[in-house]
Structure formats: C-alpha cells, structure tokens
C-alpha cells in the first residue's frame, strides 16, 4: 500500500472508518453504499496511488457529513448526492486504478486502453448497483413495514420538517441518478411522513444547500435564531454582491440552521502591518450595504472577518435589517453604524499601535465611548475623522460615502509617508524644524504684502477684502514668532498652509487675464449670498486656527472682520444691480436641450474653484472627480427619455455630494445656495420635459423602436424602486405619464424587473462589465445561469443589464490568461486546479 493514502486521507478520518488505510478489502458498513469505492486505498503503484489518494481525499470529505449521521431517514434523504459522488469517484478510479486482479489484467493485455477503462468502470458500477439494491432491501424496505421504528426515526416536528425538505431537495436536484427502486422507497416514505405529521413542504429556496462539498474554500456556520428571522437574514445576504462583503454560497433553514460562505480566519483583526488601505475595504463594504438600503443591527468587531484565500478584511452579511434608503429610521440606523464603525476603528488602532495607558484603556473597554482627548496612537487627521464619526448628535456624523472618501484621503497620505503624530517638540532637530517653518513663513508674508499692495492700487475696493486677510496673517505670524517655543509644529504647519494658499490665490489674481471689473461681475460674485466666498473661507480658516490655541493666539480688533465684509458686500450688491439692469438687453434667453437638461453645473464649478485653496484639496478632488464622472456619463446619453429615467440617480448623487462638500469644506453658508441652485436646474428641466411629453410626434420619435422602449421602461422601473424618494411631485408625475405612453407602445407586453438588474459596474470596486450577445431572452438565460454559479473558482457575478443594444454582465475584474505570461510549473498546476474546480 502506498504512503500517499496515509498522508492525504488518514488524517481526515478516524481509524475505524472504511477510508482508513489500516483496512484491507471492502469494509461492510450498516448503510452498505460505497464500500467498494473505499477500496481505492489499496492502489500500490506510486504514481497511480498518488492520483487515487487525491480522489479518495475528496470523496471522504464529500461524504463526511453523511457518514457521521446516524438517522436512517436523513441518510436516505441524501441518497442522490451520495450516489453522484460515488459514481464520479468510480469513473476516476476506473481511469487510473489497476484492473483489480492478475487474471483480469492478463485477459485485458491485448485489448485497447479504452476497452480496459470501460470494463473496469462497468465492474465498479455493477458492484455499486448491488450495494444500492442491498441497501434498499435490508435497511429501508423493512423500515416501511415497521411502524414503531418509522415513528422513532421520524423524530419530533422539527426533525420531520427537515427530513421532508431534504428528501424533496435531493429528488429535485439528483433525481436522475436514482434507481426506480430508490425512487419508489423515497416516495412511499415521504407520503407516510406527510400523512402522519400533517406537514407540507413548500417551494424550496434556490439557495438551499446541505453540504459545503460543492464549494472549495467554504465553511458552514450554524446560526441560532428562529426560522422566520433566519429566512429574513438569508434573503438579505444572498442579494449582496460586493468584493468587501463576505460571499454567501447557500444555507439550510430546517433542523439546525446554518449558512455556507467564504472561508475566513475568524474575526481577529491582524495586529501587525495593518494599513488604512485595509480598513478602506471595510468602509467600502459598509457603504455598499447602506447604499442597498440595509444597516447592521449591531456593528462590532465581530462584523469584520479576514478571508482565508485573499487575506483581506470584509464585512459579514449577517445581522442586517432593512433600513430603507431614506427617512428618519433609515438615517438613524446608518448613523448608528457610522458611530460604531468609528469606535471599532479606535479599538483596532488601540490594539495595533499600542495602548493609551492602563486607566484610559480600561475606561474605553468598559464604556465603549470616545476618550476625552486624542490618544497618542492617532494623528490629528485620524482623530478628526473618528471624532466626527462618533459625534453625540447623529445628524453631525458623516455618511459612509463621506467616510470612504476621507479614508481614501488618508490612504493617499499613507502612501506618501505623510502620516505624522502630533508630539511635543523636545529635540534640537524638532526645534530647527519649527524655526525653518517660521523663517519660510516670514519670506511668504513679505511677498503677500507686496501682492496686496499691487492689487489694492488696481482696485481700491480690494483694500477691504485682501487687507482684511493679510493683516490677520501678519498678526498671527507675529504672535507665533513671539511664542515660537510654545507653539506646536502642527499649529505652525496649519498657519503656513493657510498663508501659502492665500499667496497662491493672490498670484492667480495677478496673472488673471480678466479685469477687476469683469471679475467683480463674474458669475461667482453675482450672487449676494456668495460674494467673496474665498475671503470668507480664508477668514474661517484663520478663526479655526486661533481656536486651536486660544491661550496662545490673542485676538485683537483686526480679527473682527465680519462687519467690514458686510459693508463692502452691500456696496457691491448695489453696483451689481445697476450693471445687470444695464446689460439685460444683451442676454440671449434661448437654450439647447442639453442646457435645459443640465445637472449640478453650478455646484461643480464651485468645487473646482474651492479645490485650489482648501487644505482638504485631495478630499474635494476625490469628490469632484467622482461626481463629474457620473454627471458626464449622464450628459453623454443622447436619448432624452433615458436621461429622464436616470433622474433619481443623479439627484441622489448631487444631494450627497453637496452634503459631503459642506462637511469637507466646513462651509455651511454655501449649503442652502447650492441646494437652491440645484432646485432651479430641476425646475427648468421639469418644464422642458413637460413640453416634450405634450409633443406627441417628438415623444414617439424619442421612444425609438421596441428594443429601446423596453430598455427605457426597464430603467424607469429600476429608478422608481431605487430612487422614488429623491423625486419631487412634478418629477413623479412626469414619470407616471411616461410609463403610460410607453405601455401603449408595448402592446400588452409585461415587463418585470429582475433582482440582479444593475445599471453599471461603478457601485462595485474591482468590477468590470462583459458584453453579452443575443436577443433579450437569450441574455436573460445566460444571466440567470451566471448568477447561480456561486463558487470561488467561478468569476464573481455582481449584476447585469439585459436590455437595449449593449447588454452586459458585471463580473469580477480579471486578467486574460495567455501564453506570454510566465509561471513556474507549480503555479501553472495551481491555476489549472482552480480552473478544474470551477468547471
């Protein structure tokens, strides 16, 4: 006997198991089935034995649950699956194992290899068929005639429901491999159990599974909860498709309920080498869950798991509730998740970067509340993020979308090695750093003063706006210089950042080709609520800086800047009114379709301007680029009705972006103006589409052919369900009218929205679209097969778009395998094993 079996199989099974190498020949078991297959262990040729041992290991693993079971009816209910496993093993054995005895080998010496293979396979199948017949005759047919034993085997009501469900599932999935005798016995026992128990098994969910053997690298987790709650949890989890959400494979809701999911190493967060990039995945996963209208009942460290295969952190799919995407309850659920995630981040850093001291450490563990002061293990930016997430007032907490953006910002800084801890400056090198920073600030102060003088010569009214900022900068610099030993390096760096941004702004003003009078009456300054927002922002930054060190930076009269700006603003408003009246006759009121169907133009223009001068430029850049990408996609759609179908989506994008921008810029005065400007765009757009609906000839032209009509109708269905709360009453009325006009063109066709429908791949990180070919019906067939293939070695399916000219599926991002790639032999075989498992 080869050592391969001892190495690969023996550690998995007890010594008394028929699969253990200590046995010779068939080992008769009470259940009988598969005893002949267990003799695979006796192959002695080293190469053949190695292959056979691999096969035997898989079979032993696939039959482990079955062989551990003691209930006859439960084992009967697994007959189809077990037979399928054994038949596959028999075929493999027949292809690689010896014929079985010397006489048989001699008889087959002169035959073709295929004949040998068929002969061996025939013998294996014949023996297996005899075992199956003996099993029915000696075990299950007598059970039909023994009422007392049958009653005992049925168990209680929960066990009865489990057996009935397993029987039905086994016949539905594996019925083709059952013999007529097995089918008759199962049917008769099923009928008797239904008659005795009065139980009826409904439609079995498509996700129902009884074993992990269908998936490599999967685990089974038992769940203690009622059936109704369990079904609700599974119904949510099975719809979640995201790289940072633990992947759901299947579940069993009868008997001892369990779920089957991706294998993971548990909920222990690694304590070494943890980066913000790792935590970004957790934030993205929670953000995706929130975006789907769900929230965690209780988010904790147990929600985070480390995948065994990829060594990345993901969030669990259990413990979720439907929170709705909008409304007070949904906001409260999501805000609670944000706070708990913030506390979890704090706990993670406490573990990975060192404790804060025994007393503070014990207080945090006991109260699970934010410490009163910043722990040494965090820098200011990290502390600011976690502090905002844990705000007492839930309305002040950022959304998970904002949290993701801010963590992306921290990842960028991390990659540039710019994360620093704010510490007391005690060493000579640190004192030199502070001195150098103030010396550079002195040079910049001089340049700022020169530029302000030049700008004030060109336009006297600039004296208030420019000098009000520069005078404050000079005063603060003088105070920092006077108390340079007492000021922290972070305070000096913040001051230097504001100073440099103001200097850059002045330089841009000097180099601008626009005259001062043109600048005065530009779009940005035409709105009195936004007059000189840039100067307002500089003043707010300086106020914030002074609040950081109230005992160090003393205030003086020149820091009371608001009344000066109010006076100047009033004067400019009067000039603006006169200018607009004079120039009104030059205004051309005609607008193109694109102009009347524009979204977020004013908001994006402001973001581009603010980005140049804010200390959070990277975060604003992330936000602006993300919004512009989505708006550009919307604007590139030439069909007006398809644009309308995306209304709710774009409205949500702009609303969330405005909220995020206000939080990042700390610029609450702009919030109302941005919303009002956006509402103005929406009203203009509503008027345009009302006119379009009234024009029967044009609306018919915009609908297009039947394929396009079905596409528009499907997208409208999706938007109605996904973004209904974003639409105003007028927008909902237009949508209803459009539905009616499309229905008239569909001639009675009924269109329903599949659960897997997706508009794009953008909501998943590391996902890509793969174009489908064929008509709508064939595409749906391909998609429904694809979504059922939930396996680690099958490309992950996230969603699909089955209508229109270019249907597609959204799958995991992949790299094409080609001959130009270089691999070691062991890596090639590992890849091929993955392909084989997937197939």
**Residues of the chain above pLDDT 90, percent:** 11
pLDDT attached to residue 525: 37
> Which range has the top average pLDDT, 33-37, 520-524, 540-544?
540-544
Q: Looking at 22-31, 102-111, 298-307, which range is the least confident one? A: 102-111
Asked if the model's pLDDT at residue 416 lies above 80, the reply is no
Domain boundaries, the chain: 3-197, 213-400, 428-572, 593-746, 754-839
DSSP 796: P
Tokens of 760: 């794009």
- Asked if residue 590 has pLDDT above 70, the reply is no
Distance of CA 48 to the CA centre of its chain: 45
What's the pLDDT at 421?
40
CATH class of the region 213-400? mainly alpha
Q: Do domains 213-400 and 754-839 have the same CATH topology?
A: no
How far is Cα 761 from Cα 798, in angstroms, rounded to an integer?
8
- The pLDDT of 767-774, averaged and rounded, is 88
Determine contact, residues 314/263, Cβ cutoff 8 Å: no
**pLDDT of amino acid 506:** 78
Q: What is the DSSP annotation of 615-655?
A: TTHHHHHHHHHHHHHHHHHHHT---HHHHHHTHHHHHHHHH
The average confidence (pLDDT) of the chain is 77
**Interval 320-346 mean pLDDT:** 81
Q: Is residue 597 left, alpha or beta, with left meaning phi > 0 and alpha meaning psi from -120 to 50?
A: alpha
837, 793 Cβ separation under 8 angstroms: yes
pLDDT recorded at residue 627? 84
**pLDDT tens per residue across span 445-485:** 777 777 777 776 655 555 566 777 888 888 888 887 777 66
Q: What is the rounded distance in angstroms from the CA atom of residue 92 to the CA atom of residue 94?
A: 5
Q: What is the pLDDT of residue 338?
A: 93
- Per 3-state DSSP, the chain is made up of helix, strand and coil in percentages (nearest 5) of 65, 5, 30
Regarding predicted confidence, which is higher, 97 or 124? 124
With cut-offs at 50, 70 and 90, classify the pLDDT of residue 308. Answer: confident
| The pLDDT value given to residue 792 | 79
Q: How many other CB atoms are there within 10 angstroms of residue 594's CB atom?
A: 11
Kind plus residue range of the DSSP H or E element containing 275: none
pLDDT at 282: 92
pLDDT surpassing 50 at residue 424? no
List, as one string, the DSSP characters of 359-387: HHHHHHHHH----SS--TTS-HHHHHHHH
**Cβ–Cβ < 8 Å for 437, 492:** yes
Please give the average per-residue pLDDT across 579-584, as a whole number: 45
Angstrom CA distances, 139 to 163, 165, 472, stand at: 17, 21, 94
pLDDT band at 499 (very low <50, low <70, confident <90, very high): confident
Residues in the chain: 839
Q: Which carries the bigger pLDDT value, residue 186 or residue 557?
A: 186
Q: Are 297 and 319 in contact (CB under 8 A)?
A: yes
For residue 154, the tally of other CB atoms under 10 A from its CB is 19
Instruction: Pick one of 3.30.200, 1.10.10, 3.10.170, 3.90.1280 as the CATH number of 754-839.
Output: 3.30.200
CA atoms of 534 and 608, how far apart (whole Å): 12
- Over residues 62-80, the mean pLDDT reads 86
Residue 676 or residue 520, greater confidence: 676
| Tokens found for residue 171 | 């016949």
What pLDDT does residue 39 have?
Answer: 65
Lowest mean pLDDT among 140-149, 779-788, 809-818: 809-818
With contact defined as beta carbons under 8 Å apart, do 314 and 307 qualify? yes
The confidence score (pLDDT) of residue 736 equals 92
Question: What is the model's pLDDT at position 102?
Answer: 40
User: Cα dihedral angle (348, 351, 355, 359), rounded to 10 degrees?
Assistant: 80
| Spatial contact of 569 and 536, defined as CB atoms under 8 Å apart | no
Rg for the chain (alpha carbons), in Å? 35
- How far apart are the C-alpha atoms of 522 and 540, rounded to whole Å? 23
Question: For residue 215, what pLDDT band results from cuts at 50, 70 and 90?
Answer: confident
Cα gap 287→289, rounded to integer Å: 5
Tens digit of pLDDT for each residue in 42-70? 666 566 666 677 777 778 878 888 888 88
In sequence order, which residues have a C-beta less than 8 Å from that of residue 701 and are 6 or more positions away?
Answer: none
> Residue ranges of the alpha helices (H) in 695-824?
696-703, 706-723, 729-746, 776-788
Q: Is the predicted pLDDT of residue 743 greater than 80, yes or no?
A: yes
* Per-residue pLDDT at 529 exceeds 60: no
Crossing angle (nearest 10°) for helices 276-291 and 328-352: 170
Helix (H) or strand (E) holding 296: strand 294-296
- Please compute the mean of the pLDDT values over residues 288-300 and round it to a whole number: 89
Model confidence band, residue 340 (pLDDT cutoffs 50, 70, 90): very high
For residue 339, the model assigns a pLDDT of 92
Report residue 511's pLDDT band, with 50, 70 and 90 as the boundaries.
low
pLDDT at position 454: 74
Q: Which residue has the higher pLDDT, 9 or 487?
A: 9
Give the up-direction half-sphere exposure of residue 756: CA atoms within 13 A in the CB hemisphere. 24
Query: What local confidence, expressed as pLDDT, does residue 184 receive?
Result: 92
Residue 522 clears pLDDT 50, i.e. is over it: no
Check whether 268 has a pLDDT greater than 70: no
Quickly state the pLDDT bin for 567 (edges 50, 70, 90).
low
> Residue 86: CB partners within 8 Å, gap ≥ 6?
33, 34, 37, 59, 128
Q: Residue 342 and residue 347: Cα distance in Å, rounded?
A: 9
Task: For residues 348 and 223, give the distance between their C-alpha atoms in angstroms, rounded to a whole number.
Answer: 26
Would you say residue 216 has pLDDT above 80? no
Question: Measured between alpha carbons, how far is 390 from 796 in angstroms, rounded to an integer?
Answer: 35
Question: Do 189 and 143 form a contact (C-beta atoms < 8 A)?
Answer: yes
Q: What pLDDT does 714 receive?
A: 92
pLDDT of residue 246: 92
Question: Across the strands, what pairs with 257?
Answer: none
pLDDT of 584 above 70: no
Q: pTM for this one?
A: 0.60
């Amino acid at each position: 006997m080869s050592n391969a079996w001892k190495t690969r199989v023996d550690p998995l099974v007890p010594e008394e198991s028929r699969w253990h190498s200590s046995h010779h020949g068939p080992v008769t078991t009470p259940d009988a089935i598969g005893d002949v297959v267990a003799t695979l262990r006796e192959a002695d040729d080293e190469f053949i034995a190695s292959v056979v041992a691999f096969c035997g290991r898989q079979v032993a693993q696939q039959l482990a649950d079955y062989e551990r079971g003691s209930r006859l009816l439960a084992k009967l209910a697994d007959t189809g699956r077990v037979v399928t496993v054994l038949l596959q093993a028999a075929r493999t054995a027949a292809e690689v194992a010896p014929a079985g005895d010397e006489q048989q080998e001699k008889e087959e010496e002169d035959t073709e290899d295929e004949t040998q293979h068929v002969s061996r396979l025939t013998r294996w199948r014949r023996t297996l068929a005899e075992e199956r017949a003996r099993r029915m005759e000696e075990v299950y047919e007598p059970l039909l005639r023994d009422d007392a034993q049958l009653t005992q085997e049925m168990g209680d009501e929960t066990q009865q429901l489990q057996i009935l469900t397993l029987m039905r599932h086994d016949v539905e999935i594996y019925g083709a491999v059952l013999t007529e005798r097995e089918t008759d016995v199962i049917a008769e026992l099923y009928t008797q159990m239904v008659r005795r128990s009065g139980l009826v098994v409904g439609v079995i969910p498509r996700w129902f599974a009884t074993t992990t053997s269908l998936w490599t690298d999967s685990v089974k987790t038992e769940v203690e909860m009622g059936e109704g709650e369990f079904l609700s949890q599974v119904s949510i989890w099975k719809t979640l498709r995201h790289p940072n959400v633990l992947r759901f494979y299947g579940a069993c809701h009868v008997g001892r309920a369990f779920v089957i999911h991706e294998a993971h190493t548990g909920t222990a967060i690694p304590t070494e080498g943890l980066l913000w990039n790792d935590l970004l995945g957790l934030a993205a996963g929670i953000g995706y869950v929130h975006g789907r209208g769900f929230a965690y009942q209780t988010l904790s460290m147990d929600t985070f798991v480390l995948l065994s295969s990829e060594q990345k952190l993901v969030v669990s799919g259990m413990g979720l509730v439907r929170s709705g995407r909008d409304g007070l309850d949904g906001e409260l659920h999501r805000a609670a998740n944000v706070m708990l995630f913030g506390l979890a981040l704090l706990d993670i850093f406490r573990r990975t970067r060192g404790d804060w001291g025994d007393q503070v450490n014990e207080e945090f563990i006991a109260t699970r509340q934010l410490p009163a002061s910043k722990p040494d293990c965090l820098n200011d930016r990290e502390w600011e993020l976690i502090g905002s997430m844990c705000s007492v007032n839930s309305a002040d907490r950022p959304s998970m979308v904002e949290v993701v953006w801010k963590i992306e910002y921290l990842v960028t800084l991390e990659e540039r090695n710019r994360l620093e801890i704010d510490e007391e400056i005690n060493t000579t090198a640190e004192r030199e750093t502070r001195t150098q920073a103030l010396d550079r600030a002195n040079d910049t102060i001089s340049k700022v003063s020169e530029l302000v003088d030049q700008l004030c010569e060109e336009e006297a009214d600039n004296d208030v706006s420019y000098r009000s900022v520069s005078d404050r900068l000079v005063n603060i610099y003088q105070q920092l210089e006077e108390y340079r030993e007492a000021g922290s390096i972070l305070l000096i760096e913040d001051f230097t950042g504001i100073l440099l941004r103001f200097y850059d702004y002045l330089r841009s003003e000097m180099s601008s080709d626009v005259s001062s009078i043109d600048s005065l009456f530009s779009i940005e300054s035409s709105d009195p609520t936004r007059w000189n927002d840039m100067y307002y922002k500089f003043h707010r930054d300086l106020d914030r800086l002074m609040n950081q060190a109230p005992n160090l930076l003393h205030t003086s009269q020149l820091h009371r800047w608001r009344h000066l700006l109010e006076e100047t603003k009033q004067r400019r408003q009067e000039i603006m009114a006169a200018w607009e009246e004079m120039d009104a006759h030059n205004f051309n009121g005609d607008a193109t379709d694109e102009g009347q169907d524009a979204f977020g133009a004013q908001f994006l223009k402001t973001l581009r301007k603010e980005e140049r001068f804010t200390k959070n430029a990277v975060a604003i850049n992330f936000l602006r680029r993300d919004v512009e990408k989505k708006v550009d996609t919307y604007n590139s759609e030439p069909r007006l009705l398809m644009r309308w179908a995306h209304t709710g989506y774009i409205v949500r994008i702009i609303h969330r972006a405005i909220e995020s921008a206000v939080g990042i810029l700390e610029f609450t005065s702009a919030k109302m103006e941005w919303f009002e400007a956006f509402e103005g765009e929406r009203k203009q757009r509503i008027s345009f589409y009302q006119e379009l609906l009234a024009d029967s000839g044009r609306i018919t032209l915009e609908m297009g052919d039947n394929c396009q009509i079905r596409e528009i109708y499907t997208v409208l269905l999706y938007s109605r369900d996904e973004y209904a709360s974003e639409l105003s009453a007028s927008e909902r009325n237009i949508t209803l009218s459009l539905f009616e006009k499309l229905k008239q063109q569909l001639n009675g066709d009924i269109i329903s929205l599949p659960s897997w429908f997706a508009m794009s791949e953008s909501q998943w990180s590391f996902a890509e679209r793969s174009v489908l070919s064929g008509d709508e019906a064939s595409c749906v067939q391909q998609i429904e097969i694809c979504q059922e293939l939930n396996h680690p070695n099958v490309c992950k399916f996230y969603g699909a778009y089955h209508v229109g000219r270019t249907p597609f599926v959204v799958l995991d991002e992949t790299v094409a395998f080609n001959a130009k790639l270089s691999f070691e032999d062991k890596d090639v075989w590992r890849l091929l094993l993955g392909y084989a498992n997937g197939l």
